[in-house]
Amino acid sequence: MNFFEHQDRAKAKTSRLVWLFVLTVLLLTGLIYLTVAFSLVLNAEMDDSVSMWNPEVLLWVIVGNTLVIGGGCLFKMLELGGRGDKVAQMLGGRLVHPETTDPAEQRLVHVIEEMAIASGVTMPEVYVLKDHSINAFAAGSKTSEAVIGVTTGCLNLLSRDELQAVMAHEFSHILNGDMRLNIRMIALLHGILSITIIGRILLELGWQERSYGDDDEKGGHIGLALLGLAFMAIGGLGLAMSQVIKAAVSRQREFLADASAVQFTRNPEGITGALKKIGGIPQGSRIKNAHAEEASHLFFGNGLQSDSGFSLGNLSTHPPLVERIRRIDPQFDGAFPAIEYQPPEPEPGQNSSKAQSGAHFLQSSVMAGVAMGEARKNWNPQQALNGQSQVSRVQLNHASELLQAMDPALHQASHDPFGAQAMVFTLLLSQQDDACREQMSALEENGHAALVQEMGRLLPHIRAMDARTKLPLVDLAIPSLRQLSPAQFEAFSQTLQWLIESDQQIDLFEFALQKVVERHLRHHFVAQSRQAPSHHVILPLLPHAQVLISGFAHIGHDQAAATQLAFERGIAQLGELGKKLTLLPFDQCNLPQMNEAIEHLNLATPGLRQRIIFSLAHTVGADGSVTLKEAELLRAFADALDCPIPPHVDTPIETQPT
């Protein structure tokens, strides 16, 4: 199942959630009406004109209940804003700085960096929850806003392999489109909780006023308190039903994420070891936070109680631990090892491999950086795109190798907001020494002396770096750049644009870098409305698809015949309608025009975006091979369509000009 099929599956689950929610609201509305009508009949005493059927009361109950539940949903949606960092902060999470000196946090950041590079997802922000249980979560409405949260128990009690497996589980939720569903579920269930809140208010009002006034008034206040109790009971029923809703859409996703983690790491013992440790510690996976109930479906383990103790059975958002383990290890006997919370000692030589790789990096990376830019690699479009949600151990190993190949000075710079800015700017400097000096002089004259000094320090490392590590390094710098203030980001954005335009042209790498920064930072600092998909058929998108496919055909092929063949391979993926398209001249499908086409295609459904990206994948690989430039450009466009593609891994088959 590829990324888009997972997105469609998540959309189907969202539809099921909405229908379950509507049924729950209807049931609660009926119960509230019966409660109010019964209360009116009791207060009317012998008045025969008052009956249980009262259309006017029913109308007011429907309107009032809709406003209460809808208002609760809207409030929570506005509070969270679809952003994962809001969820992490709601749960008491503390942001982990990429330059943390804590060994356990360093290990966590390094593991997540590997996962991010291997899956093609921009490095998420990392949060730690101060809790001795073993648990983790991924949150955010889309991949560019994702965060990863872990408890201190998860951080300190799991081995590296177990931690890697848990992170692979969470990245599976990111890639499978589960996060937006989770955010929406929090909002919908908060709306149901609003009924209980209203009931508590009525109860408190009635209880506080019970001693005032005459007997009739006292009786009225007692009735108000009883009505509040009834509302709280109805709200409690709603919460129980919400648990059923969460269980209905959550349990199978956990099995899928466990299986994906095994596929990702090729290490079944990692995920089973983590699950066994949850069953072996007294805290289990319980989260001690007031918001644990509404966010329980986000967690790796059941966040509401110790998994080794009392269980809610089929009402639980998570399958039983034993069942999850036996899905992977059928021989498991059900016995959990007894474990006590105790922070582990740092693993010997934990950072030695990184330091050792840095020692010989500069000796070999110059030729690697030159060669990899133009080396052609085998290309199978179907296999490459299936990797969108089926990340393999090969890609994980590739990510680990890229991290080892990164110059330590650049890797360290990516972890600091100031250093990350300098690194991104240095990547955009001209390769010509004279032009480079002019650019740096202009920056210094415009008040960026400190940045210019840092850029000068990083420049030799940038010039010598492996070309494969450029965009991954930018991805790793995104969390640091998010720590800028809005004013700092605006200055950063303006300088970035000036550097891109300073040579009067935009090359492929500059365009890809600009798209990464625009997509993953602009939305973070500038609030923008989210538009629902407005294109459900391919016909109105064909002119925009024609621009993209033509542009990719020109970029990857010099000869007219090869360009035409690449275009035909691309439009063939659009069916009969695509065959009516013709190859555009290059001046009608340059990078700015391709960028404009992306804006329109972003309003298409996931299935339509799938067809477009498949077309582009067949275009760049029409001759069965791609260069690093082509593969990275495809990744940049796919990322702009919220469809991350893992890095392409293969052995170079030849070196030749493109």
Catalytic sites, residue numbers: 170
Helix orientation angle between 393-405 and 215-265, rounded to the nearest 10 degrees:
80
Check: CB of residue 112 under 8 Å from CB of residue 124: yes
CA–CA dist 118, 645 (Å, integer): 9
Pair of tokens at residue 440: 């740096």
Beta strands at 375-378 and 147-151: parallel, antiparallel or unpaired? unpaired
CA–CA dist 77, 57 (Å, integer): 30
By three-state DSSP, how is residue 507 classified? coil
Query: Can you say whether the dihedral through the CA atoms of 454, 455, 456, 459 is positive or negative?
Result: positive
Helix orientation angle between 628-640 and 508-517, rounded to the nearest 10 degrees:
30
Pair of tokens at residue 590: 């340059």
- CA dist 538 to 4, 402, 610, 619, 634, Å? 16, 38, 11, 18, 20
CA–CA dist 469, 453 (Å, integer): 23
Helices (H), 144-214: 152-157, 160-175, 178-208
Check: CB of residue 449 under 8 Å from CB of residue 455: no
How many other CB atoms are there within 10 angstroms of residue 339's CB atom? 17
Query: Can you say whether the dihedral through the CA atoms of 231, 236, 241, 243 is positive or negative?
Result: positive
Residue 528: exposed, middle, or buried by beta-carbon count in 10 A (0-12, 13-18, 19+)?
Answer: exposed
Q: For residue 82, which phi and psi values (nearest 5 degrees)?
A: 75, 5
